[in-house]
Amino acid sequence: MEVSLSMPSCSPAISCQGVTKSYGSVFALRGVDLEVPEGEVFGFLGPNGAGKTTLIRCLLNMIRPDGGRLRVLDRCPEMDSLAVKAETGYLPGELNLDPALTVGQTLTLFRRLRGKSVAPRQVDVLAERLQLDLGRPIRHLSKGNKQKVGIIQAVMHEPRLLILDEPTSGLDPLMQREVLTLVLEAKARGATVFFSSHLLSETEQVANRAAIVRAGEIVVSGETSDLLKNALMRVNVTLERAIAMEVFDRLPNVWVMANRSNRELALQVRGDLDALLRALAGHGVRRLDPVPVTLEDVFLSHYQGVTS
């Protein structure tokens, strides 16, 4: 089957406006608004059940949203699904392969399903790179090795859009790094990568932008660097003299996370430390250790009921 490939455009690779989806009485997506510019690596963060996979499956027309508007590569995924799928590589979150086939047979099948856009050599190169034995039966593979098969089939045709649902799940750290390298390579050749994860460290490594989804809603979205900059900072403080907790009630951007005898405190601070330092000044600050903010902190701040 031949599907014409369109030239990259200025419009976003993925655009979601007010997308809703429910399963009976369970709301999986509650009006998701999201835009992923072309050529970017976008991290879609959230714990299991937050709605990540549901949104991805809507993007690929496997399920239909109840409401809202979806565009993928400037096309409607339902009306123009062939063109969308021709230019997209997809790795499902729950990868299940035919256990009766070998790795080689599986990848040959996927290569043929792609049509003429994939050279057999391309599959061999990727398999070698991910240290995958093509002769092994799928049923004998570990979860990590199956995941490698999934990754190869997703990237082998060098798609314009890569949608990866938890791509490093089940992989050892070395292979995780290799997969993230593949993601960066895809970005380098101009592809857009949309990947969901609950591993924040990997998102931090590769994503230009990220969104955090909670109970079907995007709670925060933006440049990864901005998310880190605006995030809560953790500060561990050791004082010579005890401090009254009421002091912190008067500081709007400081929260006490842990307290030992009113002298050893773990605090979360938003913005600069001026107000905090002034409040601590009369209590003999022995140590003050700001802990570097990670995307993990940003993520957790949205999941521990700390409002932004």
Q: Which stretch binds other proteins (CB under 8 A): 91-99, 186-194, 241-249, 296-304?
A: 91-99
User: Binding residue for other proteins (CB under 8 A) from 7, 10, 24, 188?
Assistant: 24
In whole angstroms, the minimum distance from the beta carbon of 161 to other proteins comes to 11
Residues between 159 and 188 with contacts to other proteins, criterion CB under 8 A: none
Long-range CB contact pairs, 181-188, < 8 A, 24+? 182/151, 182/155, 183/41, 184/41, 186/155, 186/158, 186/162, 187/39, 187/40, 187/41
Q: How many CA atoms lie within 13 A of 217 on its CB side?
A: 5
Window 192-221: contact mask with other proteins (x via CB under 8 A): ------------------------------
Beta bridge partners of 35: 15
Query: Which string of DSSP letters, residue by residue, matches 33-70?
Result: EEEE-TT-EEEEE--TTSSHHHHHHHHTTSS--SEEEE
If one asks whether residue 26 binds other proteins (CB under 8 A), the answer comes out as: yes
Residue 114 Rama label (left phi>0; alpha psi -120 to 50; beta): alpha
User: Binding residue for other proteins (CB under 8 A) from 50, 57, 207, 224?
Assistant: 57
Q: Which stretch binds other proteins (CB under 8 A): 11-19, 108-116, 234-242, 291-299?
A: 108-116
Q: Please count the residues of this chain forming the interface with other proteins, following the rule CB under 8 A.
A: 37
If one asks whether residue 4 binds other proteins (CB under 8 A), the answer comes out as: no
If one asks whether residue 229 binds other proteins (CB under 8 A), the answer comes out as: no
Widest pairwise Cα distance in the chain: 76
User: Binding residue for other proteins (CB under 8 A) from 1, 7, 174, 258?
Assistant: 1
Helices (DSSP H) in the chain: which residue ranges?
52-59, 81-86, 103-113, 120-129, 143-155, 173-188, 200-206, 224-229, 246-249, 274-280, 295-303
User: Binding residue for other proteins (CB under 8 A) from 6, 11, 23, 252?
Assistant: 23
Residues lying near other proteins in the complex (CB under 8 A) are found at: 1, 3, 23-24, 26, 28, 48-49, 53-54, 57, 60-64, 81-82, 85-86, 88, 90, 92, 94-98, 100, 109-110, 112-115, 150, 153
